[in-house]
Every structure is written in C-alpha cells, then in structure tokens.
Amino acid sequence: MKISQALPCPVLNIVEEKLMWKPQTPKNAMALLLGGETGFSAMVQFFWNAKKACIVMVMMPPPTHPTNEKPVCLHAS
C-alpha cells in the first residue's frame, strides 16, 4: 500500500512477485526476492543480524498498466 501511495498507482498494478531487495554494501550483493513471507523474513533477518546500521534498496519493475479493454465474449450460433 505504501509503495502504491508513493508512486502513485493502484495497488493492483504493482507486480509483487518481482519486488527485489539488496543491501547497499557490498555493491556486488545479489538482489533477492522480497515478495511473500519468506522474502520479507529474509530481509528482516538481515537487519536483525547487522552489526551496524545498514541501508537496503528495494527494486521493482514499472507498475503494469490497467487494461481499458472490455472482455470479448464469443458465442457460437
């Protein structure tokens, strides 16, 4: 919800499955998936185990565009 408010865009346009996070240092750290309980727990654990203050970057693809097209229904006559 906070990400959609900051962009701004509807929550449904955010592709949650592709949210990624990585620590700022080291610069070559691998980005990890943030979506789901496992990814979020891993990020929290990173903060919990940090010896000093740390910065985490959150990355995501651009929000999807809502479809304005009406569904097409084909009926055989």
Which structure tokens are listed for 36?
């789901």
Domain ranges for the chain: 15-59
Cis omega (within 30 of 0) on the bond before 61? no
Per-residue pLDDT tens digits for 32-77: 888 777 888 888 888 888 888 888 888 888 887 765 655 555 555 5
pLDDT for the residue numbered 50: 84
User: For the chain, percent helix, then strand, then coil, each to nearest 5?
Assistant: 30, 15, 55
